[in-house]
Amino acid sequence: MVNEKFGDKLSRLRKGRNWTNRQLAANASVPSSLIAGLQAGSRSVGEYQAHKIGLALGLDGPELDSFVMEAVNTCTEKVLSEAKGYPSLFLNFIAKQLKSAGIQPQDLTNFKVVQSEEGSALRMYLNGGRIAELHSELRYA
């Protein structure tokens, strides 16, 4: 559902399996207080536990990835001041794209923004002398 709060989504998925908070918590090996707090919007969760909860709910593939990113979006970790207004789900999209291209954080040795006639690009210098560039294009629909 579009614009559904994470806590509401978690509750809907849990109820869809006819589970109590305790049953979901037991199946995910997390505290039941975490499940209740996430549903109430009073707790946040990291990637590891969100992944465990998603797997317990039977999610996989892109659905699991989306669930985890939405869950992590509830976390209050600090981000750059320019990025504070954007949801982490949005910001994590870039990291997911790099990972799917086989670029891991430990591969990145340096980077810089480069300008060309086509626009801006992020040039990434990787281990082994490899170079990758991330180009973006924004179109209004």
Q: Give which of 58, 51, 13 is closest to 30, Cα–Cα.
A: 51
For the full predicted model, state whether its pTM sits above 0.75.
no
Amino acid at position 93, single letter: F
Q: What is the pLDDT of residues 13-36, one digit of tens each?
A: 999 999 999 999 999 999 999 999
What domains are defined for the chain?
6-80+87-93 (1.10.260.40), 102-141 (no CATH)
Amino acid at position 113, single letter: V
Q: Which residue has the tokens 């998925």?
A: 13
- What is the distance between the alpha carbons of residues 92 and 70, in angstroms, rounded to a whole number? 10
Q: What is the pLDDT of residues 46-92, one digit of tens each?
A: 888 999 999 999 999 878 887 887 887 766 554 555 666 777 777 77
31 Cβ contact list (under 8 Å, min separation 6): 25
